[in-house]
Amino acid sequence: MRYSVAFVWCLFIFSIVVHSEPVDYNIRGTIKPGWEFVRNLFRENFVQDRDLGASVAAYYQGSLAFELGGGWFDQSRTKPYDVETLQLVFSTSKGLVAAAVALAVQRGLLDYSALVTRYWPE
């Protein structure tokens, strides 16, 4: 019985030590001053197990505000995911095109109810 209690206590202490160690999510990249909060938001993707690996970049007023990569490219976590990692993507332009069309309509350059041939003659 004494050994069982001692064993349980050892497991308990071991679990605290293991879970209290900081986890390295391999986050690398550059951030301009004022954009540091993005690193914390990006890190949360890995803390909450939303992403295994990811990268993100944004330009603000014509210059790079931040460029981050982190996590892992493979399930076995042997290949780091960084800002140079190539990723296969599908259907990423639809949202950008929709935003561009909406902006063009707002500026009077396009009309939703006009025929396509008005802008793209046959």
pLDDT tens for each residue of the chain, 122 residues long: 555 545 545 545 555 444 445 577 889 999 999 999 999 999 999 999 888 999 999 999 999 999 999 999 999 989 999 889 988 888 889 999 999 999 999 999 999 999 999 999 88
For the whole model, what pTM was predicted? 0.59
Count the domains in the chain. Answer: 2
Same domain, 80 and 97: no
pLDDT of residue 20: 47
pLDDT of res. 23: 73
Residue 105 and residue 55 share a domain: no
Residues 64 and 99 in one domain: no
Whole-number pLDDT of residue 122: 82
Instruction: Give exposure, 76-106, as e/b (b: 16+ Cβ within 10 Å).
Output: eeeebbbeeeeeeeeeeeeeeeeeeeeeeee
Which residues lie closer than 8 Å to 42 by C-beta, 6 or more apart? 27, 54, 56, 68, 70
Instruction: Tell whether 78 and 93 lie within a shared domain.
Output: no
- The residue ranges of DSSP E strands in 7-119, in sequence order, are 28-31, 53-60, 63-71
Is the separation of the CB atoms in 72 and 41 below 8 Å? no
Q: Tell me which residue range forms the domain holding 76.
A: 2-85
SS3 state of residue 85: coil
pLDDT of residue 89: 80
